[in-house]
Amino acid sequence: MIAVLKRGTTPKQKQHLIHWLKQMNLDVHVSDGEHVSVLGLVGDTSRVDMELLSSLEIVESVKRVSEPFKQANRKFHPEDTVITVGNVKLGGGHFAMIAGPCSVESENQIIEVANAVKAAGADILRGGAFKPRTSPYAFQGLKDEGIRLLVEAKKTTGLPIITEIMTTRSLDLFEDVDIIQVGARNMQNFDLLQELGKINKPILLKRGLANTLQELLMSAEYVMSQGNDQVILCERGIRTYETYTRNTLDLSAVPVLHQLTHLPVVIDPSHATGKSSLVPSMACAAAACGADGIMVEVHNNPSCALCDGAQSLTPEQFDILNQRIQKVREAVK
Amino acid sequence: MIAVLKRGTTPKQKQHLIHWLKQMNLDVHVSDGEHVSVLGLVGDTSRVDMELLSSLEIVESVKRVSEPFKQANRKFHPEDTVITVGNVKLGGGHFAMIAGPCSVESENQIIEVANAVKAAGADILRGGAFKPRTSPYAFQGLKDEGIRLLVEAKKTTGLPIITEIMTTRSLDLFEDVDIIQVGARNMQNFDLLQELGKINKPILLKRGLANTLQELLMSAEYVMSQGNDQVILCERGIRTYETYTRNTLDLSAVPVLHQLTHLPVVIDPSHATGKSSLVPSMACAAAACGADGIMVEVHNNPSCALCDGAQSLTPEQFDILNQRIQKVREAVK
Amino acid sequence: MIAVLKRGTTPKQKQHLIHWLKQMNLDVHVSDGEHVSVLGLVGDTSRVDMELLSSLEIVESVKRVSEPFKQANRKFHPEDTVITVGNVKLGGGHFAMIAGPCSVESENQIIEVANAVKAAGADILRGGAFKPRTSPYAFQGLKDEGIRLLVEAKKTTGLPIITEIMTTRSLDLFEDVDIIQVGARNMQNFDLLQELGKINKPILLKRGLANTLQELLMSAEYVMSQGNDQVILCERGIRTYETYTRNTLDLSAVPVLHQLTHLPVVIDPSHATGKSSLVPSMACAAAACGADGIMVEVHNNPSCALCDGAQSLTPEQFDILNQRIQKVREAVK
Amino acid sequence: MIAVLKRGTTPKQKQHLIHWLKQMNLDVHVSDGEHVSVLGLVGDTSRVDMELLSSLEIVESVKRVSEPFKQANRKFHPEDTVITVGNVKLGGGHFAMIAGPCSVESENQIIEVANAVKAAGADILRGGAFKPRTSPYAFQGLKDEGIRLLVEAKKTTGLPIITEIMTTRSLDLFEDVDIIQVGARNMQNFDLLQELGKINKPILLKRGLANTLQELLMSAEYVMSQGNDQVILCERGIRTYETYTRNTLDLSAVPVLHQLTHLPVVIDPSHATGKSSLVPSMACAAAACGADGIMVEVHNNPSCALCDGAQSLTPEQFDILNQRIQKVREAVK
């Protein structure tokens, strides 16, 4: 960590600061320039409060030169993490297609979609049981019944299942769930992250609406620091000024995260774009830049003409997409 | 609610959609133009899933013409909500200064600051016991011990206290806390909001880093829909591309929220700017545009020369600021 | 165009507004609901000032139901525009690789790079002669001499050339330039756009740092409305809160623009990411989602070890990338 | 300037880089830490291309420790700049109210508004003659005729006038204009800025939609570096994800700019909020945090009931606002 002191800092102030830093078990290297002094802090700087340090009167700026995440850091763990659920592997060259409806609505629905996506090549079944909704008056999901139906679909198809958790209080219900999803709104629900760090199950962690990639990695670190190193990162669009798409899919997250961390990276083009007509293009783009998996919404309802344009693909569209994605993966090998 | 249908929608598709909407107990008024048809939906549209409706193939766009929040809505509750804690009132013309340290660090510290801010005119004492931190390795606060010390400071000074909650699991510890704060990162932790809706205590709800004012009001609605109508809204800066300040303080939130809701609005210039040198200016600006209260960080440590420039004001700076704010409030009466 | 009137609008106010709208040669269809009235405006609404209309006291909101761009609109011009320069075609299924150095620095440099990128399969040579720089003290390019050297490189290699214009005052210098680039900072320099609309040469128009896709299309419309319909759109990253990459590449712009307009879309991953290590991944992703071309920075300087990590690729890296991109294009055909 | 080198940089690479930097007449101080080396660059670093340096393979990050703006920098010019037009002063404790219609529409209109705002205490008359519009089909202003009418209004009232320029080609028309405005979309039209640097007239420079405060200062530097040091900075709202207001007014720009520069700072609450009902609150807030002037839209049209809610204030509303602002300025003295 590097701290640049302001022009005009007195020697006494500088000594105060150095003394304070040394009390934190840091070595301090001083480099005095014409206009500024630079302090190089060596040691375990992950506990140093950068914001406090930056805000001191005499400090011009502070810069980390090593990343504050450790267990998620590729520097200390060069090999890719591979997540295994049932017969499916994700990460380290293994690619998984995660598909299913936005919400679990009924036994018929989830079994039908599960069969359809399995036939079309999906590896993992998704479906929302607990639904985070902006409005308290909107449908909040089938909750425990939704999870029960997902587990039925898993028994029927053999597909591993993934679904979202919203509070530690419902953790018991997730026993037969294969991957627990933490939604964008809970990416910095640190209490939830820490509890999920104590269990032995993969966690799919979605990037928050306006969180940086470093903050995403720090949230992964919250899980990993408690002992659970099975974390999958998921980019699902960030909030920008552009309103044509629901969010702005930040695909550069894929190569950036692959440089910074050994954890696998999944892309969710359905939530990112909010429009099914954009999903196939962005899914192919995700595969082309090296994503370890793609999570898309697929609905059934072949009879419901109304739903054709929703965020969800039909099973037929998913089937075609799946084939194109395999070709794209071949192309960039 | 208004739904505009795309050019080329067939009469059959239109009938399907109208049938589906009527099943939700809505009246549907059709207005056919040269290029488009417009459906006017009348009835309780707060349960209609706007995103689903928008995403239908035949729907060009959907627009709410009434706000989706009800209990927080000034239209249905024209008089300002006034929050009362101890002898302090906030809202409806009553203004409160909330001051105290970022974190509770020790008994000496919190008692000293509490006495200092009381002497300088503070109405409510703030202090963090549970601290949400980006890094799992950073100091997370004194937790239950921190709350105990805050309660001590309250006994000593008579000032009501406010502190942040991070999980429903620690709710019991907040019995003697006067106002419970929900931090920006938990603004859409809907499970937490609903639990806080079941207690009888004011909730200060901070706007999330990248949340709209409407989303803030919907989160207030989560609390209110469970029975607790004592909600204080707090703007504390939003995330933008500008990096000179920690966040961008969106002061227009004050007049906008006063138009939309009867709930009081508090500004936190300390977290918004991250620099103590900017706090007094922005606090005065907040008072000038009608804020119902201001929450600022004040530290003690008269001996620690290093801390002078931190995000926190000294008690002396707070004293001067308090006097200026009273003058500004007079000026805009 | 649809205008929703506020609850409480008096009949007299409504009549005033309708009268005013009819004066603009619009037909006005009124649809009165329980709480609101909706006015449907039919006719040439492209001249209606939406912001003025929205800001009227009695107007709740205004919504366009037809896009405000006409000549760029795919609805009125369904076939893809194909741009032809020399033997190169771009758009309508034709894909072009545009490559070259950030700045033209010397005759040796530009000739060397031009030969290298031609050998590696580039279709068009890029190179900056006039450089927009944030600082007045930074290198502003070789200007007219830079253009002269580019023209030399064109003669040597036969590659068409593209370079940026910054003011109408230098338009004469661009006679031998094949495609004129308008940079992100000038996307809404309307005077420049209109002048470029009067010449007969393709214009590559870069999206501004914080401009919406609709604003980009409206700027294309500025050029086209003057008679020049050879416009190429270019996404080069938008400004967000994320700082790891220089900008955030919004790849969903490719399928969105292809839906809205017949104009070709090019992606510039070099400026978007600012890091050469991210360029190949994002270039492949661009090809996978249907971009009509890619513009990348390539430098020479095989001897300069320092430059290896710059935003620019080496000719060897470009060669490999070019081959991968052809495979990706095959895969998504 | 500080450059942090990556772990793993070889001594040879480091020597290459140091050699390259020394060729730019910089002194290089090397400080080797356990994991990283830090280079301190001393000398005139304003010409160093930070982006190029940052993008080198061996460079972890680069940080300026001195601001890249010089003539605008308060460090080198501690006294406030005071702008004088006619009898009006702005900056250095002098406050100016700038008021007038969005566009000049007719002689009657501009004379009427000019008289009204003068009577209500305005110091300077604003009015658009050249109007930058997103759409080529929208009203672009009365252009040279608009300027002629403004000059008439100046003769009638004695108020100095300010109006926007869009291209150097119309510079001759601005001879009798007192302050030339550069709009947000032209903030980085460097050719225009440089030409305005060669004249002897105050320039009001608006912050671009998504530009940082440092970029605003660098654009001021473009003007000043050519010899014209009469620059007024104007904050008019930045683009964020919030859609309730047209833009997000960043009022912290006022104290931040006052710390960084000696140039005066004006706030435009009309364009920032887009709603007249929010203008008085935000204008008072601007005065409370130290703005040197406020620019608001005022229209006449007492007979036109429709216009009452537009972005513009009525002369009566402006009169009341003006009085409140004087009181706020007293309060924060």
CB pairs below 8 Å between A and C: how many?
A: 122
Model pLDDT, residue A303:
44
pLDDT at B171 over 90: yes
Q: DSSP letter for C81, please.
A: P
> Angle formed by the axes of helices D253-260 and D213-224, to 10°?
50
Within 8 A of C20 by CB-CB distance, chain D residues are 306
> Where is A179: in which H helix or E strand?
strand A179-182
Instruction: Kindly give the residue spans of alpha helices, DSSP state H, lying in chain D.
Output: 11-22, 50-55, 107-119, 144-157, 190-196, 213-224, 253-260, 269-273, 279-288, 315-332
Pick from A199-213, B109-123, C1-15, C200-214: least confident: C1-15
Tell if the CB–CB gap between D309 and C132 is shorter than 8 Å.
no
Q: Are strands C203-206 and C231-235 parallel, antiparallel or unpaired?
A: parallel
Model pLDDT, residue A304:
54
Judged on CB neighbours under 10 Å (0-12, 13-18, 19+), D291 is buried
Residue of D nearest to C308 (CA): D57
Within 8 A of A240 by CB-CB distance, chain D residues are 241
Model pLDDT, residue A86:
95
Model pLDDT, residue C305:
43
* CB neighbour list of residue B134: distance below 8 Å, 6 or more residues apart: A188, A215, A218
Within 8 A of A331 by CB-CB distance, chain C residues are 284, 324, 327-328, 330-331
The residues facing A179 across adjacent strands are A162
Residues 45-74, chain A, touching B (beta carbon < 8 A): 46-47, 49, 51-52, 54-59, 68
Tell if the CB–CB gap between C31 and B33 is shorter than 8 Å.
no
Q: Could you write out the DSSP letters of every residue in B87-149?
A: TEEEBTTB-EEEEE-SB---HHHHHHHHHHHHHTT-SEEE-BSS---SSTTS----THHHHHH
On whether the CB atoms of residues A267 and C260 are closer than 8 A, the answer is no
Average pLDDT over residues B38-53: 77
CA angle D118, D121, D126 (to 5 degrees): 55
Neighbours of chain D (3+ CB pairs under 8 A): A, B, C
CB atoms within 10 A of CB C167: 21
Q: Could you write out the DSSP letters of every residue in D28-69?
A: EEEEE-SS-EEEEEES-GGGS-HHHHHHSTTEEEEE-SS-S-
ipTM of the complex: 0.91
Q: Does D259 touch chain B (CB under 8 A)?
A: yes
pLDDT at C178 over 70: yes
Phi, psi of A123 (to 5 degrees): -100, -30
Task: Give per-residue pLDDT as tens, D204-226.
Answer: 999 999 999 999 999 999 999 99
Residues 260-279, chain D, touching B (beta carbon < 8 A): 272-273, 277-278
d(CA A286, CA A239): 19
Within 8 A of A314 by CB-CB distance, chain B residues are none
d(CA D272, CA D249): 5
Q: Could you write out the DSSP letters of every residue in B184-242?
A: GGGTT-HHHHHHHTTSSS-EEEEPPTT--HHHHHHHHHHHHTTT---EEEEE--B--S-
Within 8 A of C272 by CB-CB distance, chain A residues are 252
Model pLDDT, residue C36:
67
pLDDT at D31 over 80: no
d(CA D219, CA D205): 8
Question: In angstroms, what CA-CA distances link A173 with A164, A198, A307, C119, D247?
Answer: 11, 16, 31, 61, 45
Model pLDDT, residue D210:
96
Task: Give per-residue pLDDT as tens, D174-189.
Answer: 999 999 999 999 999 9
From the list D47, D136, D139, which residue is nearest C137 (CB)? D47
Residue of B nearest to C28 (CA): B33
Q: Does C76 touch chain D (CB under 8 A)?
A: no
On whether the CB atoms of residues D192 and D173 are closer than 8 A, the answer is no
Q: Are strands D231-235 and D203-206 parallel, antiparallel or unpaired?
A: parallel
Residue of A nearest to B67 (CA): A135
From the list B138, B166, B211, which residue is nearest A191 (CB)? B166
3-state secondary structure of B324: helix
Tell if the CB–CB gap between B169 and A191 is shorter than 8 Å.
yes
d(CA B9, CA D311): 37
On whether the CB atoms of residues C121 and C113 are closer than 8 A, the answer is no
Report chain B's terminal Cα–Cα distance, integer Å.
38
On whether the CB atoms of residues D152 and D160 are closer than 8 A, the answer is no
Q: Which of C85, C191, C188, C180 is nearest to C130 (CA)?
A: C180
Task: Kindly report the average pLDDT of chain D as a whole number.
Answer: 91
Tell if the CB–CB gap between B40 and C31 is shorter than 8 Å.
yes
Within 8 A of C185 by CB-CB distance, chain D residues are 188-190
Tell if the CB–CB gap between A328 and C331 is shorter than 8 Å.
yes
Within 8 A of D210 by CB-CB distance, chain A residues are 241
Tell if the CB–CB gap between D259 and B251 is shorter than 8 Å.
no
pLDDT at D275 over 50: yes
Neighbours of chain B (3+ CB pairs under 8 A): A, C, D
Smallest CA–CA distance, residue A196 to chain B, in Å, is: 14
Structure tokens at C244: 């790891």
CB atoms within 10 A of CB D181: 25
Residue B33 confidence class, pLDDT cut points 50, 70, 90: low
Residue of B nearest to A244 (CA): B61
Task: Give per-residue pLDDT as tens, D291-309.
Answer: 999 999 998 764 454 544 4
Contacts of B182-185 spanning 24+ positions with Cβ under 8 A: B182/B206, B183/B132, B184/B208, B184/B209, B184/B236, B185/A188, B185/A189, B185/A190, B185/B132, B185/B209
Residues 168-197, chain D, touching A (beta carbon < 8 A): none
What is the per-residue burial (b if ≥16 Cβ within 10 Å, else e) of C138-151?
A: bebbbeeebbebbb
Tell if the CB–CB gap between B288 and D290 is shorter than 8 Å.
no
Residue B208 confidence class, pLDDT cut points 50, 70, 90: very high
Between the CA atoms of B123, B124, B125 and B131, what dihedral angle is there, to the nearest 10 degrees?
Answer: -150
Task: Give per-residue pLDDT as tens, B302-311.
Answer: 445 454 456 8
Phi, psi of A274 (to 5 degrees): 75, 5
Model pLDDT, residue C304:
54
From the list C2, C36, C61, which residue is nearest B4 (CB)? C2
Mutation target vs B (from C26, C28, C38; most B CBs, 10 A cutoff):
C38
pLDDT tens per residue across all 333 residues of chain A: 888 888 788 888 888 888 888 888 888 888 776 666 778 887 777 777 777 787 777 887 787 777 889 999 998 999 999 999 999 999 999 999 999 999 998 999 999 999 999 999 999 999 999 999 998 988 889 999 999 999 999 999 999 999 999 999 999 999 999 999 999 999 999 999 999 999 999 999 999 999 999 999 999 999 999 999 999 999 999 999 999 999 999 999 999 999 999 999 999 999 999 888 999 999 999 999 999 999 999 987 644 545 444 688 999 999 999 999 999 999 998
Prediction pTM value = 0.93
From the list D16, D169, D308, which residue is nearest C306 (CB)? D16
Question: In angstroms, what CA-CA distances link C226 with C81, C192, D142?
Answer: 17, 12, 20
| Beta strand extents in A45-133 (DSSP E only) | 59-63, 83-85, 88-90, 96-100, 124-126
Q: Which of B289, B326, B253, B323 is nearest to D285 (CA)?
A: B289
Average pLDDT over residues D222-245: 96
3-state secondary structure of D289: coil
